[in-house]
Structure 1
């Protein structure tokens, strides 16, 4: 039984979630994505707001709190919902400027995972339009990302960012 706890601890130590900030409700529409977000870290945009936040890649045995933030990146926690026995969670009470998660104390101890307190914040590294076009945002600095977010929010053409488009 102890070896099972060690296996779960190792799985969780190498697993991180993708957090997607959706323009539409119910985790639909264009999305800003942060890949491989660690516990007690946050994915956020500096300005604007999105309608919903999706958490992808949750291990079913995890008992986590999914958090939606407002007022710029991860400034204030607006919504907290528990996710357990699922691999996905969607928060719909936007507008949000960020999303993060952390392990609930009782489950974290059971898996040998104490809450981390890094407080790391990351900005989205990908954007996907509602019609499926994908952009790699990893090379953008904060000012460039703010401009990109403003253009997507205003429905402005993304032709200026054609070099960032990912062809699959």
Structure 2
């Protein structure tokens, strides 16, 4: 998993693309871009941040939006990164841009660049996906979940998405 993340980040760097963080908010307070969240760190264009448990998230965000290119965030609602829900233009250079969803939550998010003269495309598929590799808590601290095996990840993700506390999640990971 670490090799895949390193390869994606290197490919993005070599192609001149910048990597961003994609965020999927967790728990009951997530519909206002508040609370704890999953983080897909340093994710390249056309890569999906996909919770393999296909949980629904009430908000999605992008961090570190490039200053020099038009950037869009794509949200999906049919499990993982299928069923395009919305394409949102992110402000250039935004440190963080979040979109809450009150009705149909999202199950994944991706991003890409677009030109100033673009055709509207219903769905541009992600070329790869990455499961979240960290949980960020309300106080801004993060704990890595990238090295967890699938069973550990599912247990931690379930607790996090059901309003598990920072101490409960940290204890579960470190035990």
Q: Structure 1 length as normaliser, TM-score?
A: 0.74
Cα gap change, 1:138 to 1:107, in 2 (>3 Å): farther
Residue 151 of structure 1: SS of its match in structure 2?
helix
2:48 aligns with one of 42, 47, 59: 42
1:152 aligns with one of 139, 150, 160: 160
Q: How many residues align?
A: 147
Residue 146 of structure 1: SS of its match in structure 2?
helix
Tell me what 1:29 maps to.
35
Matches within 5 A, 1:136-147: 136-147=144-155
Q: Does 1:69 align with 2:76?
A: yes
Distance in 1 of aligned mates of 2:131 and 2:38: 9
Distance in 1 of aligned mates of 2:126 and 2:56: 24
Give the gaps of 5 or more residues in structure 1.
Answer: 1-9, 109-115, 164-168
Residue 13 of structure 1: SS of its match in structure 2?
coil
Give the gaps of 5 or more residues in structure 2.
Answer: 1-12, 119-123
Matches within 5 A, 1:123-134: 123-134=131-142
Q: Structure 2 length as normaliser, TM-score?
A: 0.71
Root-mean-square deviation (CA, aligned residues, Å) is 2.6
